A = this chain, B = another copy of it.
Amino acid sequence: MSISERKQRDKIEMENLILNSAMELFLKEGYDNVTIRKIAEKIEYSPTTIYLYFKDKDEIFFTLQKMAFREFNKVQLKTSEIKDPIERFFAHGKSYINFATENPGYYDLMFIMNEPVRNLKSPDEWKDGMTSYDYLKQNIKDLIQMKYLPETDIEVAAFSIWSLVHGIASLVIRRGIFFPEEYRNQLVEGALMYLFSNLSNKS
């Protein structure tokens, strides 16, 4: 059965070749330049070959989203080493914003673009998106337990805090032009401080 194993390896390799080329095109040249034909040219296959590995273009973007999530989760979970829950909470928030501003392409794929999500019918298919959200919930629970945050519905609190950082990130990514470049970082930094300290200083 070694031959069918090799075939399966080859298939995965080809899928990765396609995905990596697509990701590279997306990150370097933006969404508009990710065309089936350009991916094909990059990997030196005919355009139609791609359809032997992916149903359509949206499925490619769905898989790119997964890749982005894996990268994102890896970075997010690094903060779990921090013992102090309030310090961990801050670090998590900072890390979120950092990832978003340093990898706007990944962030777009995960939380803004429609393409990766167009064919989803249920939230279950968003498992990769859950990992870091669950981590946030756990952090919030710790904060509440230690009385750093008032007792509230965990779901509401998690959604609120996610909204808060997502708002900052997505404003900068999609409407950054609106804010003079010199102040942009200060603004982001300041907003994070402002909102987080308002949340946790109450006790």
Complex formed: what's the CA distance from A171 to B171 in Å?
A: 12
**Known A-B contacts A167-B167, A170-B166, A170-B167; A202 and B191 likewise in contact (beta carbons under 8 Å):** no
B174 touching A163 by the CB < 8 A rule?
Answer: no
Question: Which one of B114, B129, B174 contacts A111 once the chains associate, using CB atoms below 8 Å?
Answer: B174
Q: A156-B191, A164-B167, A195-B164 are in contact. Are A177 and B117 (CB under 8 A)?
A: yes
A residues neighboring B (CB under 8 Å): 111-114, 117, 120, 122-123, 126, 129, 152-153, 155-157, 159-160, 162-168, 170-171, 174-175, 177-180, 183, 186-187, 190-191, 194-195, 198-199, 202
Across the interface, A166 reaches (CB within 8 A) one of B122, B126, B171, namely B171
A171 partner residues in chain B, CB cutoff 8 A: 111, 159, 162-163, 166
- With known contacts A164-B164, A183-B155, A123–B191 Cβ distance under 8 A: no
> Across chains A and B, which 10 residue pairs bring their CB atoms closest together, nearest first?
A167-B167, A163-B167, A156-B190, A160-B191, A166-B167, A163-B168, A160-B194, A159-B187, A159-B191, A123-B178
